[in-house]
Amino acid sequence: MTLPDVYSDDADEDPPPQEPEVSKRSRGVALLLSFFGGVFGLHRFYAEKPRTAIAMIFTFGGCGIWYLYDLVLIAAGEFRDGEDLPLRNWGLSESSFAHHRLVGRAEQRVAELEEQFDGLRQQFNDLAERVDFAERMLAQQRESPRPQLPRGS
């Protein structure tokens, strides 16, 4: 008699929960565009729905009804973009390319600053050696006795 999968040891290992896919576009931006330019379909252009955006332009937001409906959907987080993904995130998401570009520029800037710092450190060490040499020369001049002139009779 075999045990059902429910009782097997493998059943204890639950697959990691997958986060639902959401749009990369900002819900906050869409809400602002809808509030200020909703009758012209600005939020739909932002969400990559150009056909319905043009329809909103010609109908002035469905005489205001379509405009209000979209405004409520966006505020509730149920408005979907052109790829049928819901706009749920309020903030702007950075693209991975922009992130890598910024990290690359930051690393380059840090390397430049390290080089400048090493140059300043070398100049400071050279200056310290020169000051030390000058102090030793002055100390030698103070310590050496002055030659005295012979006295004449």
Top mean-pLDDT range of 8-22, 95-109, 117-131: 117-131
Amino acid at the residue 96: S
**What pLDDT does 93 receive?**
64
Averaged pLDDT, 5-16 = 56
Residue 49 — pLDDT band, cuts 50, 70, 90? very high
What does pTM read for this prediction? 0.51
Of 74, 75, 72, residue with least CA distance to 49: 74
Of 78, 51, 55, 50, residue with least CA distance to 65: 55
The tens digit of pLDDT for each residue in 51-95 reads: 999 999 999 888 999 999 999 999 998 999 999 899 888 887 665
Averaged pLDDT, 107-134 = 91
Considering only CA atoms, give the Rg of the chain.
Answer: 37
Share of the chain above pLDDT 70, in %: 76
**What pLDDT does 76 receive?**
92
Neighbours of 71 (CB within 10 A): 18
